[in-house]
A = this chain, B = another copy of it.
Amino acid sequence: MSDFSFKILATDNKARCGEISTPRGKIRTPAFMPVGTAATVKAMYPEQVRGTGADVLLGNTYHLMLRPGAERVERLGGLHKFMDWKYPILTDSGGFQVMSLANLRKLDENGVTFRSHIDGVAHELTPERSIDIQIKLDSDIIMQLDECIKLPAPKEEIKRAMELSLRWAERSKNAFNSDMAKSKGRSLFGIVQGGDDANLRLLSAKGLADIGFHGYSIGGLAVGEPQEVMFKVLEETIPALPHDKPHYLMGVGKPDDILGGIERGIDMFDCVHPTRAGRHGRVYTRLGSINLKNSRHKDDIRPLDEQSNNENCTRFSRAYLHHLVKSQEILGAMILSQINLAYYAELTAGARDAIVKGKFEEFAATTRENWEKGDLPPL
Contact = CB atoms under 8 A, between A and B. Distances in A.
A42 B330 CA distance: 6
A38 B327 contact: yes
Given A298-B68, A317-B82, A45 B76 contact: no
B67 A326 contact: yes
Main secondary structure on A side of the interface with B = loop
Contacts of A301: 76-77
A45 B337 CA distance: 13
A319 interface: yes
A276 interface: no
Interface residues of A, number: 33
A42 B331 contact: yes
A311 B10 CA distance: 41
Contacts of A72: 298-299, 319
Interface string A36-53: 001110111100000000
A353 interface: no
Contacts of A83: 320
Contact of A42 (B68, B298, B329): B329
Nearest to A69: B298
A42 B301 CA distance: 22
B324 A40 contact: yes
A321 to B, nearest CB: 11
A247 to B, nearest CB: 31
Given A76-B299, A76-B317, A68 B330 contact: no
Contact of A45 (B40, B298, B317, B331): B331
A373 interface: no
Q: Which 8 A-B pairs have the closest CB atoms?
A: A43-B330, A40-B331, A68-B323, A38-B327, A40-B329, A84-B315, A82-B320, A76-B319
Interface of A: 38-40, 42-45, 67-68, 72, 75-77, 82-84, 298-299, 301, 315-317, 319-320, 323-324, 326-327, 329-331, 333-334
